[in-house]
C-alpha cells in the first residue's frame, strides 16, 4: 500500500487524529497541573515526547513495504547497540557486527516470510558467535561475550522482530500500531497507579515503579483502550482485543522487569537519551521483546481456533 493510499484510508486517518488529539488534550492538562505539583512532572515529560514520536510513527508506518519493516530492523539494531554499550562490550566489534548482520538477515527472512529460517535463527547465531573466539585465537572473557551476544540477539533481534512478523500479516500495520499503543499506555498507567496508590511492591529490589495496585489499574484501563481501539484489528472479536490488552500489560511489565534486573546488576539507571522525557531506547523496546512474540503466537492460535 502506498503512502498516499494509506493516508487515504479512513481508519488510518481516524486513528492518527484520535491519538494525536488525545496527546494534545492530555498534554495541556498535565502542563497546567505539573506547574503546581511535582508528582505530574514525569508524566508531562513523557507526554512531551509523544508530540515528537506520534507523527513520526504514523508517517513511517504509512510508507510502502518494506520501509516499516526496515524501520523495525533499525530500531532493533540501535537497541542492541545501546545494550552493548550498557554492558561494556561495545569495543568487541566482531560480536557487534555479527549481531547487526544477524538482525538484517532476520529482517530479510521476515520480508520473504521464511518462517522455518526465522525459527532456527538463534541456533545459527549461537554457532556463529561460537566460532569468533576460535578465529581470534582467544579465550579471555569469551564465554561472557558469547552469552551477552546471544542475549542481545534473542531480545532485540529474534524476539523484537516478531513485530515485523505481525507487520507482514493482513492488516499488519494496524496490528503493530495497536499493540505498541497498548503497551505504552499500559506501562504509563501502571507507573501512574503505582505512584499514587502503590503499596504492595513485590519487585521493589528490582523496580520500585511496579506495584500490584498499579498493575490492576493498568489492566482495567488498558482493557478499556483495547476495546475502544479494536477497530484497528482485522478481526474485532472479543478474544483478540482481550488477549491484546492482557499481553500488553502482563508481558510488557515482565519485559520492563527483566531490563531492570540487568540495569540493577550493572549499577546503572539509564544507558543514554533517545527521546527527551522518555529515557533510553531500551526503556521503549524492553516491553516489546516479550509483547511482540507472545501476541504473535496468541494471534495465530486464535485465528486457527476460529
Assess whether pLDDT exceeds 60 at residue 275: no
Q: Count Cβ atoms below 10 Å from residue 116 Cβ, excluding itself.
A: 8
Q: Residues with Cβ < 8 Å from 233, sequence gap 6 or more?
A: 171, 174, 175, 178, 240, 241, 244
> 82, 69 in Cβ contact below 8 A?
no
Q: Tell which wins on pLDDT, 56 or 290.
A: 290
Of all residues in the chain, what percent carry a pLDDT higher than 70? 86
77 contacts 100 by C-beta, under 8 angstroms: yes
Confidence label for 22 from pLDDT (cuts 50, 70 and 90): confident
Average pLDDT (268-289) is: 68
- Can you tell me the distance from the alpha carbon of 180 to that of 278, in angstroms, rounded to the nearest whole number? 15
Identify the band that residue 273 occupies on the pLDDT scale cut at 50, 70 and 90. very low
Grouping H, G, I as helix, E, B as strand and the rest as coil, residue 92 is: coil
pTM of this prediction? Answer: 0.89
Cis amide bond preceding 66, omega within 30: yes
DSSP 157-221: IIITTHHHHHHTSTTHHHHHHHHHHHHHHHHHHHHHHHHHH----TTTTT-TT--HHHHHHHHHH
pLDDT number for residue 277: 46
| Better pLDDT: 154 or 267 | 154
Q: For residue range 122-168, what is the model confidence (pLDDT) as tens digits? A: 999 999 999 999 999 999 999 999 999 999 999 999 999 999 999 99
pLDDT digits (tens, 9 = 90+) for 73-119: 999 999 999 999 999 898 889 999 999 999 999 999 999 999 999 99
Residue 3 has pLDDT above 60, yes or no: no
The pLDDT of residue 122: 93
Report the chain's mean pLDDT, rounded to a whole number: 87
pLDDT at 272 over 70: no
With beta carbons less than 8 A apart as the criterion, state whether 19 and 54 touch.
yes
Amino acid at each position: 500500500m502506498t503512502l498516499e493510499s494509506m493516508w487515504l484510508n479512513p481508519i488510518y486517518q481516524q486513528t492518527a487524529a484520535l491519538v494525536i488529539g488525545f496527546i494534545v488534550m492530555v498534554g495541556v492538562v498535565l502542563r497546567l497541573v505539573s506547574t503546581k505539583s511535582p508528582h505530574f512532572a514525569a508524566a508531562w515529560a513523557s507526554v512531551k515526547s509523544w508530540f515528537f514520536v506520534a507523527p513520526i510513527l504514523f508517517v513511517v508506518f504509512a510508507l510502502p513495504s518494506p520501509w516499516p519493516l526496515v524501520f523495525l530492523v533499525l530500531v532493533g539494531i540501535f537497541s542492541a547497540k545501546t545494550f552493548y554499550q550498557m554492558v561494556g562490550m561495545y569495543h568487541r566489534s566482531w560480536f557487534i557486527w555479527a549481531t547487526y548482520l544477524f538482525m538484517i538477515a532476520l529482517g530479510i527472512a521476515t520480508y520473504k516470510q521464511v518462517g522455518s529460517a526465522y525459527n532456527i535463527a538463534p541456533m545459527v547465531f549461537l554457532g556463529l558467535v561460537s566460532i569468533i573466539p576460535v578465529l581470534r585465537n582467544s579465550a579471555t572473557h569469551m564465554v561472557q561475550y558469547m552469552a551477552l551476544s546471544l542475549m542481545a540477539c534473542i531480545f532485540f533481534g529474534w524476539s523484537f522482530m516478531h513485530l515485523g512478523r505481525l507487520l507482514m500479516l493482513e492488516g499488519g500495520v494496524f496490528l503493530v500500531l495497536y499493540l505498541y499503543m497498548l503497551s505504552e499506555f499500559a506501562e504509563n498507567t501502571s507507573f501512574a497507579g503505582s505512584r499514587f496508590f502503590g503499596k504492595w511492591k513485590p519487585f521493589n529490589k528490582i523496580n520500585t515503579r511496579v506495584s500490584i495496585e498499579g498493575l490492576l489499574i493498568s489492566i482495567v484501563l488498558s482493557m478499556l483502550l483495547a476495546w475502544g481501539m479494536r477497530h484497528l484489528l482485522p478481526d474485532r472479536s472479543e478474544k483478540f482485543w482481550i488477549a491484546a490488552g492482557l499481553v500488553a500489560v502482563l508481558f510488557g511489565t515482565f519485559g520492563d522487569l527483566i531490563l531492570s534486573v540487568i540495569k540493577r546488576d550493572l549499577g546503572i539507571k539509564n544507558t543514554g537519551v533517545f527521546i527527551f522525557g522518555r529515557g533510553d531506547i531500551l526503556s521503549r523496546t524492553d516491553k516489546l521483546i516479550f509483547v511482540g512474540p507472545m501476541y504473535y503466537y496468541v494471534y495465530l492460535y486464535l485465528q486457527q481456533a476460529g
